[in-house]
């Protein structure tokens, strides 16, 4: 299972780099679908290789909640917002898969 954890981390880093480059350089409309696909793969690997998804869900909520606040920064606000929106496209599928797993576990525990 450690190999899968490393694979998901590598995919996460690749996605993060694509999100940053896509936000800074505005390289095209293909960025969002690629990030979403990476997010689905990362989410599937992550939930299959770990039992605790609480920290992932909390971190994702914190990052997504800061998107609006970062947009108000003068000069860099637009770029930062684009990067965070791209990052949200990466993390939203991961969070959805983790949330479904958490709900299923809650249901099975009762």
76-93: average pLDDT: 84
Q: What is the pLDDT of residues 41-74, one digit of tens each?
A: 999 988 887 777 888 888 888 877 776 677 677 7
Instruction: Kindly tell me if the per-residue pLDDT of 33 is higher than 90.
Output: yes
Mean pLDDT of the chain: 84
- Counts for the chain of helices (H) and strands (E), in that order: 5, 0
In which region does residue 18 sit, left (phi positive, over 0), alpha (psi from -120 to 50) or beta (all else)? Answer: alpha
With cut-offs at 50, 70 and 90, classify the pLDDT of residue 15: very high
> What is the structure's pLDDT at 10?
92
3-class SS of residue 84: helix
- Site of tokens 């599937």: 44
Structural domain spans, the chain? 2-109
Copy the structure tokens of residue 74: 């003068």
Count of other CB atoms within 10 angstroms of residue 18: 20
With cut-offs at 50, 70 and 90, classify the pLDDT of residue 76: low
- Calpha distance 44→40 (Å, rounded): 6
């Amino acid at each position: 299972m450690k190999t899968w954890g490393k694979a998901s981390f590598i995919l996460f880093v690749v996605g993060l780099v694509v999100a940053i480059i896509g936000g800074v350089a505005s390289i095209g409309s293909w960025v969002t679908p690629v990030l979403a696909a990476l997010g689905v793969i990362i989410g599937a690997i992550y939930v299959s290789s770990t039992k605790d998804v609480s920290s992932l869900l909390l971190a994702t909520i914190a990052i997504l909640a800061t998107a609006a606040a970062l947009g108000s920064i003068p000069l860099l606000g637009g770029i930062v917002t684009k990067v965070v929106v791209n990052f949200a496209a990466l993390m939203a599928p991961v969070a959805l898969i983790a949330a479904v797993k958490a709900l299923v576990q809650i249901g099975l525990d009762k």
